[in-house]
A and B are shown apart, each in its own frame.
Chain A
């Protein structure tokens, strides 16, 4: 397996300095900022966040490995849903064939779980902002709003454009710059209040 790798791919600068922008794929880190008040044992937060980042990294690594090793070494052709394309190759004997439908079912269920979590956090934030007592009814308008926004791009090319040029910078700016700065300032404020 080692012999299939290029150690520095596009060079040191492109991989480690310019390539650091690819950290936007860890956008789930935003949920870590919102978790502490929801935990039953907040003292375990450090352990929880480290384990969740490691698990997430393993899944991303496995996904990338599947795509890189199954298809050509330099993935020069952009396939829609490369994992789905990989799932089409699964054949176990002559009975277990065409298993990509099961893959899609699992994928849809996973997506539904992810959307539920996102809507839940959206409702929590909205509750904090507006001081509403019962936010459960807001689940429907938030879901419809997400569906409406997802229908804005007309083509797959638009989706790729939004992902590469807009979403990437929103995540980098918000999750990694703004939120970290907010945490730092909040810590300064806490220290100042502690002294006074």
Chain B
């Protein structure tokens, strides 16, 4: 009996030692595993056309851990940019892996910049390749650069953040309160490519041109008509992101300016508030700045009339008056109603211009109205015969914009 108890204790002790050894092996770092020291984290990828038209010039902006650590010098650039020419993105990654000495990791890639020249030739194979990569996040932003992608990345030096990855993560947020850019991700782009009822879009990026201008043309002062490469901005950072790149399937076919991008965001319900500048109803020589925000979500409806799509867009806004002048009574209901009426008409005109531009000129349904047309058909065959992609250019639009201006912010009567 005592022997049995001793044997049981022995077995128990052996088991305990075996379990401890197993746990030690499991939680110790293995010589085959990759630690953070073996990886190079790419924060941005740039794709350009090479001088040899058959290949690509791929630029990688790689974060430098030593520059952003506590021991790093504040003078060190937090990222380095390396460029390689290759037949494909994966070949470029492979070549760069052998050059750098660490394995490139795309898990923290926040931005994919594609130059305008490459985008005009079609980028479906690049997008499919990137989406197939398990490291690339669907929330990675896509920018179509009017300059070289490498030049865009080199000049995207953030002035208010230390890390470029932080800047790339933050800048699309301005779409919520200005509407001048959009949060266009590679996931949305892939959806637009595969969807038969919508088209893809991307952020339009460009070079700040205000630095070189001594005299700013009057056209650039109307902030609604501007887009990247055409603004009066001058600053430390050499790049700007204003406007939207419009695609037809995978080819870049056009660009939208600031106010058209605002209209796009309104229809997509991706904007919280935005500023418009309208002619003062009391004085045609003066302008009035109004800040509008959604009262309720924009509603769209697609009907078929004589085989042509008739699209109705209903949007409601509340607004506040930003700019103030001397001797104005904004407590007077008549004054507020006049301004509201002028703002409603302005929004209707801008939105109809935008919609007809995407329909008649670009023939590209980036707003995804095609998804709403399905209920007009019983079967897929009939919907495919209708061919929304071709029929979108025959669309007619009716925009009902209702703007209700309440007052100024702190002043109501001057």
Contacts and interface: CB of A to CB of B under 8 A. Distances in A.
A74 B374 CA distance: 11
Contacts of A6: 374-375, 377-380, 383
A2 B194 contact: no
Q: How would you classify the secondary structure of chain A's contact residues: helix, strand, loop or mixed? A: loop
B381 A5 contact: no
Given A6-B379, A73-B374, A88 B191 contact: no
B196 to A, nearest CB: 6
Contacts of B138: 88-89
Contacts of B380: 6, 9-10, 74
Interface residues of A, number: 22
A171 to B, nearest CB: 26
A74 B375 contact: no
B379 A72 contact: no
B139 interface: yes
B187 A89 contact: yes
A158 interface: no
Interface string A3-20: 111111111000000000
Nearest to B188: A89
Contact of A73 (B196, B377, B378): B196
Contacts of A5: 374-375
B146 interface: no
Interface string A92-122: 0010011000000000000000000000000
B372 interface: yes
Contacts of B196: 72-74, 76
B358 interface: no
A71 interface: yes
Contacts, number: 60
A68 to B, nearest CB: 11
Given A4-B374, A73-B374, A10 B169 contact: no
Contact of B194 (A8, A9, A72): A72
A101 to B, nearest CB: 12
Contact of A72 (B195, B377, B381): B195
A71 B187 CA distance: 9
A26 B380 CA distance: 25
Contacts of A4: 371-372, 374-375
A71 B375 CA distance: 18
B352 to A, nearest CB: 22
B197 interface: yes
A11 B381 contact: yes
A163 interface: no
A4 B301 CA distance: 11
Nearest to B185: A89
A72 B188 CA distance: 10
B374 A8 contact: no
Contacts of B191: 71-72
Interface of B: 137-139, 169, 187, 191, 194-198, 301-302, 371-372, 374-375, 377-381, 383
Interface of A: 2-11, 71-74, 76-77, 88-89, 91, 94, 97-98
11 contacts: A2-B375, A3-B374, A4-B372, A4-B374, A5-B374, A6-B377, A6-B380, A8-B379, A73-B371, A89-B139, A91-B139
Given A7-B378, A9-B380, A72-B196, 9 more contacts: A3-B302, A3-B371, A4-B374, A6-B379, A8-B379, A10-B379, A73-B195, A88-B137, A91-B139
